[in-house]
């Protein structure tokens, strides 16, 4: 595996590889865990060549968010990537990716797509996501790109961006990987103190509970949401919603594929930890 830190070197490597091989791209912000590894292994299995990006993207963080303290573990990430079969680990600096961050061109998804869920709580977040993903697509020129289902709104927006902007790339969404007690794997889990680690289990408990209710014939979104909110009672809930999986619009009676999504904040002495989770019904 080769570690590359400049766009020039990545472009040169990709131009050579692209002549004879298919390329898979796994965009990450580092602090890799089992969820990321599942994406990397899927790419390695599907493609001749796999590129993983390891970049904490400043344009998707708000002014009061955790950009400065977001975990950066490049040495550990590199070992995990190598063991998983990655060919290139692209780990640029912010200056390498943005020559003038305050005056850079942004890719802005539609208002309808970003005015809900995480986009509503984190204004500008998905502009930053769409921009960095577009840049990585242009640099890595992948045949396929891999994203986790845990960031479901992000996955929806990226798939739509690829269609709308005519990127010739197949977007592969991969299942959520959970710890043995049900907590969805996240780089932010390492922030949690012992008490909040236990409380965080309410997210998956709420989701699994309403999925069981739905399987047993309860198809009222309001009833399912009320049940979930009861389980999450006492927590700082950002949102809990059930949306049509095809267009991310609200639905009252579930008669097609839907997705339940939630975000909860856990305050502690060293700052608030915000976790997200979801489940397809």
Q: Which CATH superfamily, name and number, covers 2-174? A: HUPs (3.40.50.620)
Domain ranges of the chain: 2-174, 187-276
Rounded Cα–Cα distance for residues 87 and 257 (Å): 36
What residues contact residue 1 under an 8 Å CB cut-off, 6+ apart?
78, 81, 82, 86, 87, 88, 89
Tell me if domain 2-174 and domain 187-276 are identical in fold. Answer: no
pLDDT of 101: 86
Fold of 187-276: 3.30.1300
Q: What is the pTM of this model?
A: 0.97
33 labelled catalytic: no
Catalytic residue (one of 17, 27, 36, 78) = 36
pLDDT of 188: 95
pLDDT category, 270, cuts 50, 70, 90?
A: confident
pLDDT in tens, 227-248: 999 999 999 999 999 999 999 9
Instruction: Say if residue 133's pLDDT is above 90.
Output: yes
3 close to 30: Cβ distance less than 8 angstroms: no
Cβ-in-10-Å burial (0-12, 13-18, 19+) of 270 comes to exposed
3-state DSSP assignment of residue 228: helix
Of 35-39, 73-77, 226-230, 269-273, the range with the lowest mean pLDDT is 269-273
């Amino acid at each position: 595996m080769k570690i590359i830190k400049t766009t020039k070197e990545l472009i040169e490597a990709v131009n050579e590889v692209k002549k004879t091989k298919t390329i898979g791209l796994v965009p990450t912000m580092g602090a890799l865990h089992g969820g990321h590894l599942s994406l990397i292994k899927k790419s390695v299995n599907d493609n001749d060549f796999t590129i993983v990006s390891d970049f904490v993207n400043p344009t998707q963080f708000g002014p009061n968010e955790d950009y400065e303290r977001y975990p950066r573990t490049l040495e550990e990430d590199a070992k995990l990537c190598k063991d998983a079969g990655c060919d290139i680990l692209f780990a640029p600096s912010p200056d390498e990716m943005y020559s003038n961050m305050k005056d850079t061109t942004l890719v802005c998804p539609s208002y309808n797509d970003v005015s809900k869920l995480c986009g509503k709580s984190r204004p500008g977040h998905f502009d930053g996501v769409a921009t960095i993903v577009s840049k990585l697509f242009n640099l890595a020129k992948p045949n396929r790109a891999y994203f986790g289902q845990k960031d479901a709104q992000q996955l929806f927006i990226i798939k739509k961006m690829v269609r709308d902007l005519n990127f010739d790339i197949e977007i592969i969404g991969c299942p959520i990987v959970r710890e043995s007690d049900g907590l969805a794997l996240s780089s932010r889990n390492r922030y949690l103190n012992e008490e909040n680690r236990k409380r965080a289990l309410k997210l998956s408990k709420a989701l699994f509970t309403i999925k069981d209710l739905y399987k047993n014939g309860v198809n009222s979104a309001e009833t399912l949401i009320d049940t979930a909110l009861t389980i999450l009672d006492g927590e700082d809930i950002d949102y809990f919603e059930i949306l049509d999986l095809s267009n991310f619009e609200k639905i009252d009676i579930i008669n097609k594929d839907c997705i339940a999504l939630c975000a909860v904040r856990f305050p502690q002495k060293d700052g608030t930890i915000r976790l997200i989770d979801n489940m397809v019904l």
